[in-house]
Amino acid sequence: MGVFKLKKGYDIALQGSAERRLEKTPKTTAVAVQPIDFRGLRPGMKVEAGDSVSRGSILFVDKQKPEILFRSPAAGTVREVVRGERRVIQRIIIDVAGDATEKFKSYTVDQVNAFSTSQAKEVLLNSGLWPVLRQRPFSKIADIDVSPKAIFISAVNSAPLEAESDMLLDGLEKQFQLGIQLISKLTEGKIHLSVSAKTKSFFSKIKGVELHEFSGPHPAGNVGVQIHHIDRILAGEKVWYLSPRHIAQIGSFLSMGEYPSSKTYALTGSELEKCYYVKGTEGALVSDLVGSKIDNNTQRVISGNVLTGAKSAAQGFVGFYDDMITIVPELEGRRFFGWLRLGLNANSFWPMFLSRLTPQKKLAPTTDMNGEERAFVSTGEYEKVVPMDVLPVHLCKAILVDDIELMEQLGIYEVAAEDLALCSYICPSKIEFGDIIQKGIEAMEKEG
Amino acid sequence: MKALQKFLANLDVKIKEGPFKVVHPMFGAINTMLFTPGHGTTTGPHIRDSIDMKRFMGIVIFALVPSILVGSYNVGHMAGVEGLFAAFMFGFLKLLPIIVVTYAVGLGWEMIFGHINGHDIHEGFLVTGILLPLTLPPTIPLWQVAVAVSFGTVIGKEVFGGTGMNLLNPALTARAFLFFTYPGNISGDSVWRAIDGYTGATPLSAAAAAPGPAVDALNSAGFSLNQMFFGFVPGSIGETSTIAILIGAAILLITGVASWRIMLATTLGAYGMALIVQFFGGNVAGGMRTLPAHYHLVMGGFMFGMVFMATDPVSAAGTNAGKWVYGILIGVMVILIRVFNPAYPEGMMLAILFGNVFAPLIDHFVVQANIKRRLNYGK
């Protein structure tokens, strides 16, 4: 077992972490599958508004790779296919009714062990769970025709208020092991599973993986950071990654012969009176999961964590890859001489506010930008929150001047927007590192 | 408060669309100084650090307060004014017009360029506008200040694209401009005491001119190490008091605004080079080469330049490894100029500008090293 003690990074002390208890399953009234959750995907629709679907019915396919299927997480009627700007399909909303379920062949452990690579691919593609596999560089759905160098799984939870892997996987040990058997057929290389001191006990008995232990502040739990330390991505190389929960989902599919859409969510954030875990359906409606009332004007609903999650709403849905909802207060307006305040409750990485004297104190910051965009001024601090041998400012400048070669040399293949999210957070010039990285990744993709 | 906010919002629209559009960058700066801009996040990260450029630059100004206070007192003290408060007021009234002219002229330029480039006045100038006056002698003619600020702001910063893009520190660029265009008003023996008829060499020129051991010359001129440490010697307004600057340095280091790497590296570079110069200085009877290394650290503009100018994040090296090289380079250069340049005993300004010019090159090598590590990975 490799042990990695990362020093760089930063944990934002936030109110509203989920208690380790599972609440009663609330009623599911609606679910949605959102093509916008899958970067670069162009969906080929197989249903339209008014159609009845079962759990496991095909909703749409990837237009470029029609073998990649997206299945319905619940039975019911398609309420709407929501389109955004330029008629881009954003989500397919399904009003949940009944429990009609599509049946698939189920497999035993021995049968899965006997799979060839192509059999494993075929089964996974047909299950509708292929999209759980993502590929680096570029953080997109894994390319079917690629044989990845290795597959990485992070069971380290370092993001703000992040759901803990062992809570999400409670009772799913067998399914997890079965899922590992299947994905081990997809690569000639190793399966790297990273755990933390907290999640170690759950995963220590898992066979067929190379275990690594990571400790340190966020983003130690980011798979990109772990890849950097375990086995860096060089030009031309591809690796795949997926979350532990998705492995268990694959295992459930194999053993049940049904599309498994039940999953555990963490409800977090300072605006929630009680924070806990709850069972729900994939693509769940936010207001179904959150018992209390949400005011979209004064509260920000985030699908995912505060750093990298997507803005949602009470009537919004949780993203495909997200296991948590965070609710924080919306910005309250302008503050008189805000830059002069003593800052007893100011959330800050910088030792410029009195809150520095109480580092353990959990705060409830709003969605205030706390400033305006400025030119790059500060130097040397961004590196403190990036536990990789990457120069964040120089990489971003290379992207801003569209220097493809330099981007490649400075490690664009090794990073995703989420890995530099803390740079945006701490930046006094309020520069959006994530957006810039995303732009760089898109430029690299275009370049081929 | 709500009424004031509403008034500002209305005024904002009126100015933006009215005939006085050119003052909008200025108005925007004042507006957001009174009340936070009040923009919310639209994408992740949904919450942001409480820090902004106003706080960042505000801390630098706060760190300059001890130098302003002690410097003002010393201007009065040097002019022979008796009494703590009277001396302070005398000096402060010399400093204030310089600051006012610097801000008025500098902000005027910032406003014009802000208008052209469509942004508010950037907070960086608030610091430049205090730094420059503190590096000048109290007798500097105000029109020269105005010309220098114009040069520093326009040629030193805006032609490169404004704050964040400049190669050189704008305050030092302005000072260097004065130094080369009007040397009679910024160097020599007659400019340091703000009272007619008095002349007095700075400790550095006393040391440079010393026929015997420099320390003896300093002592006989009345410049003990203590006095130079506390700042009661002739010199530029803000740079004489080492203790005041050290308080500022502590503020900058505690808050993380300035780089400790640069400060430490510059100190080590200067101290090391001064030791070397002393050791290999040859058998000279007097002058700078006989000055003990630690004297260099409290004399002239070294401390002020190191704490407030060399650490300017925009014109310094940006990489952490680069900061070490950059700091050492400045430290070494300042001693070389002080000791081996016969024309002028102070070297800090030119050493930092020299460091500024080399900073991109230093960073280039650090970046190349990063690229090389990536290429060699796994081989």
pLDDT tens per residue, range A371-412:
888 888 877 899 999 999 999 999 999 999 999 999 999 999
Q: Which residues of A touch B375 (CB under 8 A)?
A: 409
Q: Which residues of A touch B35 (CB under 8 A)?
A: 334-338
Determine if the peptide bond prior to B37 is cis (ω within 30°). Answer: no
Are the Cβ atoms of B163 and A428 closer than 8 angstroms?
A: no
Q: Output the CA torsion sign for A332, A336, A339, A342.
A: negative
- Domains within chain A, CATH numbers bracketed: 2-10+104-256 (3.40.50), 369-447 (no CATH)
Q: Is the pLDDT of residue B379 over 80?
A: no
CA closest to B38 among chain A residues: A334
CA closest to B28 among chain A residues: A372
CA closest to A394 among chain B residues: B367
pLDDT of residue B48: 96
pLDDT of residue A299: 95
Q: Output the CA torsion sign for A198, A201, A206, A209.
A: positive
Are the Cβ atoms of B54 and A347 closer than 8 angstroms?
A: no
Mean pLDDT of B180-192: 83
| In contact, B326 and B268? CB cutoff 8 Å | no
pLDDT, tens digit (0-9, with 9 covering 90-100), for B291-344: 899 999 999 899 999 999 999 999 999 999 999 999 999 999 999 999 988 777
**B38 → closest Cβ in A331, A409, A410:** A331
pLDDT of residue B282: 63
Are the Cβ atoms of A380 and B320 closer than 8 angstroms?
A: yes
Q: Which residues of A touch B367 (CB under 8 A)?
A: 391, 394, 410
Q: Which residues of B touch A379 (CB under 8 A)?
A: 259, 313, 316, 318-319
Are the Cβ atoms of B163 and A349 closer than 8 angstroms?
A: no
pLDDT, tens digit (0-9, with 9 covering 90-100), for A202-233: 998 899 999 999 999 999 999 999 999 999 99
Please report, as a single letter, which amino acid is at residue B176.
A
The alpha carbon of residue A392 is apart from the nearest alpha carbon of chain B, in Å, by 10
Are the Cβ atoms of B55 and A428 closer than 8 angstroms?
A: yes
* Helix, strand counts (H, E) of chain A: 12, 20
Q: Is the pLDDT of residue B288 over 90?
A: no
DSSP states of A101-136:
B-------HHHHHT--HHHHHHHHHHHT-GGG-EEE
Q: What pTM value is reported for the model? A: 0.93
Q: Which residues of A touch B48 (CB under 8 A)?
A: 365, 368-371, 424-425, 430
pLDDT of residue A368: 93
The region of weakest confidence among A149-153, A270-274, B23-27 is: B23-27
Residue B147 CA: distances (Å) to CA of B106, B142, B191: 10, 9, 18
Q: Which residues of A touch B124 (CB under 8 A)?
A: 377
**A367 → closest Cβ in B40, B318, B323:** B40
CA B33 – CA B122 distance, rounded (Å): 11
pLDDT of residue A32: 97
Are the Cβ atoms of A352 and B319 closer than 8 angstroms?
A: no
Q: Which of B5, B6, B36 to mutate to test the interface with A (most CBs of A within 10 A)?
A: B36
pLDDT band at B254 (very low <50, low <70, confident <90, very high): very high
Are the Cβ atoms of A394 and B319 closer than 8 angstroms?
A: yes
Q: Which residues of A touch B51 (CB under 8 A)?
A: 348-350, 352, 370-371, 426, 428
**B46 → closest Cβ in A349, A367, A428:** A367
Are the Cβ atoms of B36 and A367 closer than 8 angstroms?
A: no
Q: Is the pLDDT of residue A305 over 90?
A: yes
Q: Which residues of A touch B371 (CB under 8 A)?
A: 409-410
Are the Cβ atoms of A339 and B58 closer than 8 angstroms?
A: yes
SS3 category, B364: helix
Question: What's the whole-number average pLDDT of chain B?
Answer: 90
Percent residues over pLDDT 90 in chain A: 87
**B45 → closest Cβ in A374, A389, A425:** A425
Question: What is the DSSP-derived secondary structure letter of residue B240?
Answer: S
The region of weakest confidence among B47-56, B115-124, B294-303 is: B115-124
Buried b (16+ CB within 10 A) or exposed e, A365-387: bbbbbbbbebbbbbbbbbbbbbb
pLDDT of residue B280: 80
**A434 → closest Cβ in B44, B261, B378:** B44
DSSP states of A284-306:
BBHHHH--S---TTTEEEEES-T
pLDDT of residue A290: 92
Are the Cβ atoms of B49 and A348 closer than 8 angstroms?
A: yes
The region of weakest confidence among B47-61, B224-238, B271-285 is: B271-285
Q: Is the pLDDT of residue B242 over 80?
A: yes
CA atoms within 13 A on the CB side of B238: 29
CA B287 – CA B291 distance, rounded (Å): 7
